[in-house]
Amino acid sequence: MSRSKSSQRWLREHFADPYVKKAQAEGLRSRAAYKLEELIERDRLLKPGMVVVDLGAAPGGWSQYVRQAMGDGGRVLALDILDMPPLAGVEFLHGDFREDAVLSELEARLDGQRVDLVLSDMAPNMSGVDVVDQARAMHLAELAMEFADHHLRTGGTFLIKLFQGVGFDEYVRQLRQRYEKVAIRKPAASRKRSPEVYALAQGKRAQPR
């Protein structure tokens, strides 16, 4: 079966992408690591000894960057519906975050330990139908926010990928109720034509407003 024109264009753009080439040269698992690097360095989000949960982690670019940046201390727990080759110092859980059993397993691994930083780069498999894809993406975002509500320590940070569209403004409003400071960022490594942005919510309140 021949590839569609859109998939051929994507492949050309992908292999010509300077961030793809840089990731390959530096031994990183994905170009997405540079999105996280910019976001973390700008706001100095990482400190030694932190507990970090990475939702939607595969192929591991974010977890790899966090583990390297923090050194040997702290914990990095990664979860994805896709399998992910092992990373030294990263605890990986293979499963669907939408399933109660998978969430329960992640909670069991935390064993009551509070999280300092929740990362979510989750995205649904895209169908090409905008209204369907946006609804699925917002559902994942709601689940990630709920996880942060229960497991992120007071004062902690939540960084999540969002897609602009239906539900986006309301979601950001909910973040502002829960966190002292919320900013919307578009890292340089994020493709300009992509509707993705990142919401950085810092200073989790003890109680939402």
**Pair of tokens at residue 126:** 């895209």
Give residue-wise pLDDT tens across range 124-168.
Answer: 988 889 999 999 999 999 999 999 999 999 999 999 999 999 999
For residue 89, is it within any domain?
Answer: yes
Instruction: Please choose, from the candidates 77, 68, 73, the residue with its C-alpha nearest in 3D space to the C-alpha of residue 50.
Output: 73
Q: How far is CA 126 from the centre of its chain?
A: 17
Total domain count, the chain? 1
Range of 113's domain?
A: 5-204
For residue 62, is it within any domain?
Answer: yes
Q: Alpha carbon of 44 to those of 38, 51, 167: distances in Å? A: 10, 15, 29
The whole-number pLDDT of residue 195 equals 86
**φ/ψ bin of 155: left (φ > 0), alpha (ψ from -120 to 50), beta (otherwise):** left
The whole-number pLDDT of residue 32 equals 72
For residue 209, is it within any domain?
Answer: no
Q: How far apart are CA 80 and CA 82, in angstroms?
A: 5
* Domain harbouring 67, CATH code: 3.40.50.150
Q: How far apart are CA 180 and CA 160, in angstroms?
A: 16
For residue 126, is it within any domain?
Answer: yes
Return the active site residues.
161
At position 144, the amino acid (one-letter code) is A
CB atoms within 10 A of CB 67: 21
For residue 74, is it within any domain?
Answer: yes
Binding residue numbers for S-adenosyl-L-methionine: 60, 62, 80, 96, 121
Give residue-wise pLDDT tens across range 19-77.
Answer: 455 655 555 546 677 888 999 999 999 999 999 999 999 999 999 999 999 999 999 99
Give residue-wise pLDDT tens across range 163-207.
Answer: 999 999 999 999 999 999 999 999 987 777 788 999 999 999 999
CA-angle at 163, arms to 80 and 3, nearest 5°:
70
